[in-house]
Structure 1
C-alpha cells in the first residue's frame, strides 16, 4: 500500500484560518490538496470539497470561498484538485467529460479515500469527515461516501447517483451516510429527477436525506439561492459532524 503524505497539513495556531497547498502521493497517482484549517486547537471535523466536471481552475475562487466559510465555522476544509493533465484535456466538452468520468471514477474515489486516511491521521483523536460535491463532484462524492464508511455526512449540489452504482448495475449502492441534496428545478444539465433518485435511495437505506429545491434555478446557483444553499449546507454539517441542533 502506498502512503499518502500530507506533511504540509500541520496546524499553526493563530487567530485566523491557515492555508496550505501540497501535492499528495496516493495509490492512484498524485493529487493536489489545498487545506483551509480552522483556528484554535482541534480536533476539528474535516470536510472534503469536490469540484465539478470543468475542473478546479475555472471556478477556483468559488470552491475556495466555500472552503474558507467552512473553516471560519470551525471545520478543516480540503479542496481536492483530482484532475491530472489528461483529465483537464478531456474536460472541454460534455461528451468527453462524461466519458472520462466513467473511466476515472474508480481511481478518483480511491484517491479521495487515501486522502481521508491521512486527514484523519493528522489528529490524535478520530474526527468525523464530510464531503461536499458540486455537480460531477456530487456524483463522485456519492461514490466515495457509499463505499467509505468513515464519511459521516454528504452534501450534494445538483448531482445524483453515478450510473456505475445505480440499482441494477454491477455494484449497486448498499450504504449511504446522512444526505443533503440541493437542486434547481430548471436544471437542464442534471435534471432534478437525478437528485430525487439519490434522496429516495438514501432513505431506502435507512439514512436521513433532505432535498431542497430552488424554483427557477438552473445548474449552478445565483443569489439568493446560492446564499441559502451555503447556509443550509453549513447547518447540515454542524448538525451531523458537530452535534449542533
Structure 2
C-alpha cells in the first residue's frame, strides 16, 4: 500500500561557498511519530549539466514510501573554456558528501534516523551515490559538520560509471579536461578518486545496480564489473541488466526495475 506524500520544501540552502548557495528540495513522507529513513537523490549530466529537479519523480516516490528524500544541487564543471568561474573534481563529491552531513546534523528537525540514510543516483549522479556508499568524507579538513559521517547505508545506482581508468568511450574523454582540468590528468590519483569500484570492501553499502546492455554512453561493463566486485567482497547487492536498453533506461522492463529499486531502497533502510 502506498502512503501519501507529506510537505515539499523547495530551494532549501544547505551550504554556502563564497557567494554560491547550494540548494536542496525536500520531499517529506506523511507525518510519522517515529523517525523515518532518508535518501539523498542525485541527478546525472556528466558532471557538467543536469539539475536537482530532474530527480523530483524519484524523491516523490520515496516520500510516498515513507522515506524523507532530498534532491541535491552540486557544483558542476563546464565544457566552456571561457566560463568565468569553473569548478573541477572533487567539488561535486565534496558537495554531495556535505549534503549527507547536513541532513544527518538536522536529523531531529527532519524527524529522520541518522543511521538510516541511503543514496540514489543516475549516471554521473550514480557514480557520486556509489562513492557515498564506498567512502567517507574526502575533505578531512572541512569545517562543515565535520563530526558527521558522509557514508550512506544503501545505494541505488542507475547506469553509473564505476571505473574512470578504463572502459570510457572516446566521445567522453573530453570530460577529463572539463571535469578535471586536464585531458590526460597529471594525477592518476584524481581518476582513482572518481572510481567507486576501487574502494569496494567489506564495509561497502548494499547496492542495487540497474544498467542497459545497449548503453553506449556508460557501457554495461561498468555495472557488470561492479557486480563482480561486490560479490567478491560479500556485499549484499541486486543487479538488473536490461537487454537492449540504452543510457536512458526507457524500456518497460527498465521502468519496472526503477520502481523495484525504490522499493529495494526503502526495504534496505528499514530498522
**Which category describes the TM-score, using the shorter chain as reference length?**
0.7 to 0.9
CA distance in 1, matches of 2:71, 2:131: 17
Q: Please state if 1:56 is matched with 2:51.
A: yes
Q: Please state if 1:234 is matched with 2:235.
A: no
Q: CA 1:111–1:139 in 2, change beyond 3 Å: closer, same or farther?
A: same
TM-score w.r.t. structure 1 length?
Answer: 0.76
Query: How many corresponding residue pairs?
Result: 216
2:187 is matched with which residue? none
- Greater relative contact order (Cα < 8 A, sep 6+): 2
1:132 is matched with which residue? 120
TM-score w.r.t. structure 2 length?
Answer: 0.69
1:208 is matched with which residue? 236
CA distance in 1, matches of 2:257, 2:197: 32
Q: Please state if 1:117 is matched with 2:104.
A: yes
* TM-aligned CA deviation for residue 196 of structure 1: 1.2
Contact 1:26 1:111 in 2 (8 A): no
| RMSD (Å) for aligned C-alpha atoms | 3.0
Q: CA 1:34–1:194 in 2, change beyond 3 Å: closer, same or farther?
A: same
Contact 1:31 1:111 in 2 (8 A): no
Q: Report 1:1-245 matches (<5 A).
A: 16-21=5-10, 22-25=12-15, 30-41=21-32, 42-53=34-45, 54-56=49-51, 60=53, 62-83=54-75, 87=76, 90=78, 102-122=89-109, 123=111, 125-148=113-136, 150-163=151-164, 164-165=192-193, 166=195, 172-174=199-201, 175-242=203-270
1:6-32 deviations in Å (ceiling 9; x for gaps): xxxxxxxxx642111211126897421
1:11 is matched with which residue? none
- The gaps in structure 1 that reach 5 residues or longer are 1-14
**Could you say what secondary structure the match of 2:245 adopts?**
coil
CA distance in 1, matches of 2:80, 2:159: 20
Larger helix percent: 1
